[in-house]
Amino acid sequence: MERGLGGEVCMKKVSVIIVNYNTKPILQDCLHNLEGSYPNLEIIVVDNASADGSAEMVKASFPNVVLIENENNGLAAGSNLGLTKATGDYYLFMGSDAFPAGDAISQLVNYMDQAPYVGIATCKLVLRNGELDWDAHRGFPTPWAALTHFTKLNKLFPHSRIFNRYFLGWEDMNKPHEIDLCISHFMLVKKEVIEQIGKWDEHYFLYGEDVDFCYRAKQAGWQIMYLPFCTAVHYKGVSVGIRKETQDITSASTETRERIKKTTTDAMKLFYKKHYQGKYPAIVTNFVLAGIDLMRFIRS
């Protein structure tokens, strides 16, 4: 917060960017939840060619929301479209399935205002059943971290620095601490981060774009913080239909579900080739890429 010439408190402006695809009822609840959640909020919805009337609902019920209608070029491309209209000091990238509680946005902004080296922050993200969404509290997917995750070693040793680097399981989840990455379903970003590292990499259609973005931010010297003193609920997977937590409320088609299964492994391969291929011996790289291809085959 800053003070104006008359001494009044000026709240930093926050641009919420939501990329939507066929989640009309959830999006409606999401936008209602944001009403009154922060006094200086700009809401931008990018609708990726939804066929369920999402865009029409926004026009009819939320005239103050900036609506961008576009073909479906993926989440990263949609987020970048939102940035073309954003005028805030902070950008809150949010899924239509995210519901910040109480004054969560204010708490995040107040913290980051006092932390010049923090460029990205997230809150305690919980699923509908109250369990933690561990994808909001991640380490980078190095070959070792990925191996221990996909072989389930991290579940056998959940608090180990060696075997659970994927979810940073040794950290105290009740205290603020630095993490490697969080997910784009609830990610508060300082404007200066975008100005320094650039926008989202549109080679990622869905999944992996947040891993890439956080990796570039870390490489540029920014800190990423997990702040559990504020909370948001995450209706995880409602737009893609492949998560058991939201099978009762998803409207994702079979075609969408099948496409998403392939997208996950595409993202893994893209991230590894972009950021890790030159850092590891050829034998490690060949093993990793073969493992990703095998996973793609199993999921197809």
Q: Are residues 109 and 230 in the same domain?
A: yes
Same domain membership, residue 257 and residue 125: no
* 3-state SS, residue 115: coil
Q: pLDDT tens, position by position, for the chain (300 residues)?
A: 444 333 344 578 999 999 999 999 999 999 999 999 999 999 999 999 999 999 999 999 999 999 999 999 999 999 999 999 999 999 999 999 999 999 999 999 999 999 999 999 999 999 988 999 999 999 999 999 999 999 999 999 999 999 999 999 999 999 999 999 999 999 999 999 999 999 999 999 989 999 999 999 999 999 999 999 999 999 987 665 555 555 555 565 666 666 676 788 999 999 999 999 999 999 999 999 999 999 988 877
Same domain, 223 and 291: no
Do 86 and 223 fall into the same domain? yes
**49 plus 103 within the same structural domain:** yes
Q: Is residue 280 part of a domain?
A: yes
**φ, ψ dihedrals at 284, nearest 5°:** -70, -45
Predicted local confidence at residue 5, as pLDDT: 36
User: What is residue 6's predicted lDDT score, i.e. its pLDDT?
Assistant: 39
Is residue 142 domain-resident? no
The residue from 216, 239, 262 where one domain ends is 239
Domain that holds residue 271: 253-300
Same domain membership, residue 227 and residue 268? no
CA proximity to 79, closest of 219, 204, 255, 163: 204
The one-letter amino acid code at 173 reads M
Of the three residues 187, 206, 239, the one that is the final residue of a domain is 239
Number of domains composing the chain: 2
pTM equals 0.92
Give the pLDDT confidence score for residue 10 in this predicted structure: 52
248: in domain: no
Instruction: Compute the distance between CA of residue 194 and CA of residue 223 in angstroms, rounded to an integer.
Output: 14
Number of neighbouring beta carbons within 10 Å of residue 220:
12
Distance CA 288, CA 291 (A): 5
Domain presence at residue 292: yes
Q: Assess whether 199 and 292 both reside in one domain.
A: no
Q: Which of 136, 89, 94 is nearest to 113 (CA)?
A: 89
The answer as to whether 268 is a domain residue is yes
> What is the per-residue pLDDT for 210?
97
Contacts of 145 (CB under 8 A, 6+ apart): 139, 165, 166
In a domain, 219, yes or no: yes
Position 190 in a domain: yes
The predicted pLDDT at position 163 comes to: 97
CA dihedral (262, 266, 269, 270) in degrees, to 10, reads -170
291 vs 8, 268, 269, CA distance in Å? 58, 10, 10
pLDDT for position 7: 38
289/272 Cα distance (integer angstroms):
8
| Segment (H or E) for 122 | strand 118-126
Residue whose pair of structure tokens reads 């060949």 in the numeric block: 286
Query: Does residue 262 sit in helix, strand or coil?
Result: helix
Indicate if 200 and 289 belong to the same structural domain.
no
209 and 289 housed in the same domain:
no
- One domain, residues 70 and 20: yes
How confident is the model at residue 136, as a pLDDT?
95
Bridge partners (DSSP) of residue 19 are 46, 95
Q: Residue 155: inside a domain, yes or no?
A: no
Query: Are residues 291 and 206 part of one domain?
Result: no
Domain harbouring 182, CATH code? 3.90.550.10
Q: Which two tokens stand for residue 204?
A: 């990622």
Do residues 70 and 109 both lie within one domain? yes
